[in-house]
A and B are shown apart, each in its own frame.
Chain A
Amino acid sequence: DAGVIQSPRHEVTEMGQEVTLRCKPISGHNSLFWYRQTMMRGLELLIYFNNNVPIDDSGMPEDRFSAKMPNASFSTLKIQPSEPRDSAVYFCASSDQGYGYTFGSGTRLTVV
């Protein structure tokens, strides 16, 4: 398996623009998680899905953030409009319950 695949690896955008991050989980994993990592706050859970259904989105910072999982093999995290304080590394992870988590390589987002 190729692991958890995220795209793009790097994204630089101007403030106010829409940003879409993408994730393909490991086939057969039933849970998917979006995390954000910054130097100040470390790793923060944004939202997670179980069997494609959003379970807990309490970590989503504002209404500007939204996430979808239309099927078991794809998820998106969208920021609209983006702001400089959204600059961070965004990680996607998937798990097969009870067998640990696998993380993607992350998307480094810079909003200027």
Chain B
Amino acid sequence: KQEVTQIPAALSVPEGENLVLNCSFTDSAIYNLQWFRQDPGKGLTSLLLIQSSQREQTSGRLNASLDKSSGRSTLYIAASQPGDSATYLCAAILMTQGGSEKLVFGKGMKLTVNP
């Protein structure tokens, strides 16, 4: 059974720091991996999708990498801002035997960026 782990569960940093958020998964046979952001009381917003043939994706100040062999993904946030404060969730996308996809989430990491 695929398990996704995010450590630590919470992080508080001063504005301007470069951050590394970690995600690990137990089964290297994942299909894709997606990072989401969730603001309090809101839904999930997709940040980056790393497809099976890719090793990393970039969007603005965000960069996500994927290493299937070691079971790890990293989300890098450059020059953090108070507006980056949110819960960040990592999700492993699996391909089932029936040929459809299934998403397995980590429990998330709550980030607070202090001005």
Contacts from A to B (Cβ < 8 Å):
31, 33, 42-43, 45, 48, 50, 55-56, 91, 93, 95, 97-106
Contacts and interface: CB of A to CB of B under 8 A. Distances in A.
Contact of B105 (A43, A98, A99, A106): A43
Contacts of B98: 50, 55
A103 B43 contact: yes
B100 interface: yes
B43 A100 contact: no
Task: Label chain B's interface by main secondary structure.
Answer: strand
Interface stretch (B12-20, B44-52, B70-78): B44-52
Interface residues of B, number: 24
Interface of B: 31-32, 34, 36, 42-46, 49, 51, 89, 91, 93, 96, 98, 100-105, 107-108
Given A50-B98, A100-B93, 4 more contacts: A93-B44, A97-B100, A103-B45, A106-B42
Contact of B102 (A43, A56, A99, A104): A56
